Amino acid sequence: ETGVTQTPRHLVMGMTNKKSLKCEQHLGHNAMYWYKQSAKKPLELMFVYNFKEQTENNSVPSRFSPECPNSSHLFLHLHTLQPEDSALYLCASSQDSGGETQYFGPGTRLLVL
Amino acid sequence: QKEVEQDPGPLSVPEGAIVSLNCTYSNSAFQYFMWYRQYSRKGPELLMYTYSSGNKEDGRFTAQVDKSSKYISLFIRDSQPSDSATYLCAISTGRRALTFGSGTRLQVQP
């Protein structure tokens, strides 16, 4: 595997389900990000991790819970989501979190019913 | 005022045309400027990276930064149908994560 990988690529879940999104980067980077991309809206930065520590949380609802066990892996745990949470969730990584070039994964397309 | 403004388009051009994509920004502290290309249902991929002012060329693509006007541009020469995608500008001060524009959707007609 190379670059940034994300699983699953597609996910359909009910509002009462609990699921997790996984991201793995094979670039040796220290910073990882979660973004939400909704139709016809700009990328919304959700969380930033640098050396496994969360450095930014952009007022994301608590039904989204990130986890970064090491610099290569990032998870987004989902529970009791709403239909408006349906979107493309993108993971990215960079050398550090100070404006470095970010490399994106292919995204997980989430549909909440 | 948004930190980065980008016309969402869509922009439709015939094959072979020169395409000009633009962003304006408000914070004069921004120093790092990037362009990403995003195909439908895919993640964004880095296209061009520029530090400070000036031009940078890579094949058919040229990135231009005018810090005095707080204006950045991406030019695509001899556009191809395979260039059809959404183009996002991204900028940074170097102290925190990138700020993205909303993206311009480009359609190159064969």
| A104: chain B residues, CB-CB within 8 Å | 36, 43-45
Selected residue of B4, B35, B38, B47 to mutate for chain A interface (largest A Cβ count, 10 A): B38
pLDDT band of A2, cuts 50, 70, 90 = confident
Half-sphere exposure of B107 (CA within 13 A, CB side): 6
pLDDT tens by residue, A94-105: 998 777 889 999
pLDDT of A7 > 70? The answer is yes
Provide the pLDDT for residue A82.
94
pLDDT tens by residue, A16-61: 889 999 999 999 999 999 999 998 788 899 999 999 999 888 889 9
Which residue of B44, B93, B96 is in closest CB contact with A104? B44
Interface contact flag, B97 A97, Cβ < 8 Å:
yes
Ramachandran bin of A67, using left for φ above 0, alpha for ψ from -120 to 50, beta for the remaining angles: beta
Lookup result for tokens 């962003």: B23
Selected residue of A32, A41, A100, A108 to mutate for chain B interface (largest B Cβ count, 10 A): A100
Instruction: Give the closest-approach CA distance of B6 to chain A in angstroms.
Output: 10
Lowest-confidence region among A4-18, A77-91, B83-97? B83-97
pLDDT of A1 > 70? The answer is no
Angle among Cα A102, A106, A111 to the nearest 5 degrees reads 120
Rounded Cα gap, residues A34 and A58, in angstroms: 11
Buried b (16+ CB within 10 A) or exposed e, A65-91: ebebeebbebbbebeebeeebbbbbbb
pLDDT in tens, chain B (110 residues): 678 999 888 999 999 999 999 999 998 888 899 999 999 888 999 999 998 888 999 999 999 999 999 999 999 999 999 999 999 999 988 877 888 999 999 999 99
Ramachandran bin of B75, using left for φ above 0, alpha for ψ from -120 to 50, beta for the remaining angles: beta
| B31: chain A residues, CB-CB within 8 Å | 99
Interface size between A and B, measured as CB pairs under 8 A: 54
Please tell me which residue, B96 or A107, carries the higher pLDDT value: A107
| A101: chain B residues, CB-CB within 8 Å | 34, 46, 49
